[in-house]
Amino acid sequence: MKITELLENGSFVVTGEVGPVKGAIPRDASFLPPCAKEAESLRGQVHAINVTDNQSAVMKLGSLAACVRLKELGHEPIYQITCRDRNRIALQSEILTAFSLGVDNMLLLTGDHTHLGDHKEAKPVFDLDSVQLCRIASELLQGKDMVGNDLAFKPEMCIGAVVNPNFQPLELQLMKMRKKIDAGAQFFQTQAVYDDRVIDDFVEAASKLGRPVQMGVVLLKSPQMGAYMNQNVSGITVPQSWIDEIGSVDKTDRKKKTAEMMGRFIRRHKSKFQGVHIMPLGWTDVVPMILEEAEVSVQQAAA
């Protein structure tokens, strides 16, 4: 199911996120890889689940293999594809492959630079940028490859893209968002936001652009994680008040606390967005508590 169908009929779309394992999936069909175990806690809680593509440039199992496994298990995957590791031939081929294997949703990103990951000496590809990738994906959906050759059978998928509301100057990020829309992006997920002002400034401008946007949140698991993100995660700032609040409880109570904090934050801002994208970083078991706290429910729409 394409999540654009839900967005079109006015559903508040809830998505989660899992990361493939560093390693292969054993052949034994009864074995659940970690991403599938994490996805289990999201069953019935979210409409779809993003599967990251070698996130932070750390080499892992391919996003597509994990998407296919999730689909077999009855989840709705959103296939993340970055421009970092593949040239234009591979990117187009991957999209055709993904549709052929049953994937309905794709999220197209530039990708973190190779320098941030565990293979720092790799050649960064970046043959296309994310705007060009959106346009080329749209052309594939229309039955043509990027050089105009006909496809024997065209894929039918929806195209998502990413925007970072924290980016300064915001106008520059919005220019890129407009370009992505012109290139065919049908929905957006934001990078992690923690700041009320950032949200309001962004929503004021982005709501004029006429595409559904899911607010992105990353679970803050500990004060150390907040400090780490501020130091090492590009483009995201965790305010000190968040770091203090998660640090105010014992380690054993942090899941409960983060559920309360994230839930409260989503509840406060949900009316400004068309959905929420929760990045639990492994703590998928917390997602139901967050949604309850946020007073968000997908029961009707979720499988």
Instruction: Give me the least distance between CB of 235 and other proteins, in Å please.
Output: 5
128 vs 262 by CB, closer to other proteins: 128
**Residue (82 or 258) nearer to other proteins, CB:** 82
Query: Smallest gap, in angstroms, from Cβ of residue 33 to other proteins?
Result: 28
| Options 58, 116, 122, 301; binder of other proteins; rule CB under 8 A | 116
SS3 53: coil
Residue 286 neighbours by CB under 8 Å, 6+ apart:
219, 255, 258, 259, 262, 280
The residue among 268, 263, 265, 269 whose CA lies nearest residue 297 is: 263
Rounded Cα–Cα distance for residues 270 and 12 (Å):
9
- Restricting to residues 191-220, name those near other proteins by CB under 8 A: 191
Under the criterion CB under 8 A, does residue 113 sit at the interface with other proteins?
yes
Which of the ranges 65-73, 100-108, 130-138, 262-270 carries the binding residues for other proteins, by CB under 8 A? Answer: 130-138
What is the sign, positive or negative, of the torsion defined by CA atoms of 301, 103, 50, 108?
Answer: negative
Report how far residue 60's alpha carbon sits from residue 57's, in angstroms, rounded to the nearest whole number: 9
Q: Is 240 in the site for other proteins (CB under 8 A)?
A: no
44 binds other proteins (CB under 8 A): no
> In the complex, what is the shortest distance from the CB of residue 102 to other proteins, in angstroms, rounded to a whole number?
28
**Angle CA(35)–CA(39)–CA(43) in degrees, nearest 5?**
170
d(C-alpha 160, C-alpha 184), whole Å: 9
What's 284-298 look like in SS3? HHHHHHHHHHHCCCC
Contact 258, 242 (CB under 8 A): no
Q: Is residue 145 within the footprint of other proteins (CB under 8 A)?
A: no
Segment interacting with other proteins (CB under 8 A) among 27-35, 160-168, 258-266, 271-279: 160-168
Q: Which stretch binds other proteins (CB under 8 A): 1-9, 58-66, 127-135, 275-283?
A: 127-135
Q: How far is the CB of 134 from other proteins (least distance, A)?
A: 10
Interatomic CA distance for residues 18 and 63, integer angstroms: 10
From 10-18, 32-40, 166-174, 283-291, span contacting other proteins (CB under 8 A): 166-174
Using CB under 8 A as the binding rule, whether residue 285 contacts other proteins is answered as: no
Cβ pair 51, 67 in contact under 8 A? yes
Q: Output the smallest distance, CB 275 to other proteins, in A.
A: 19
DSSP H helices in the chain? 3-8, 34-40, 63-72, 88-100, 130-141, 170-182, 196-206, 223-232, 240-247, 254-269, 287-294
In the complex, the smallest distance separating the C-beta of residue 296 from other proteins, rounded to whole angstroms, is 25
Instruction: Please state, in angstroms and rounded to a whole number, the distance separating the CA atoms of residues 157 and 95.
Output: 9
Residue 146 is a binding residue for other proteins (CB under 8 A): yes
Q: Please, what is the minimum distance in Å from the beta carbon of residue 37 to other proteins?
A: 29
Tokens of 241: 């008040």
Binding region for other proteins (CB under 8 A)? 83-84, 88, 110-113, 115-116, 124, 126-132, 135-136, 146, 162-164, 166-169, 171-173, 175-176, 179, 182-183, 191, 234-235, 237
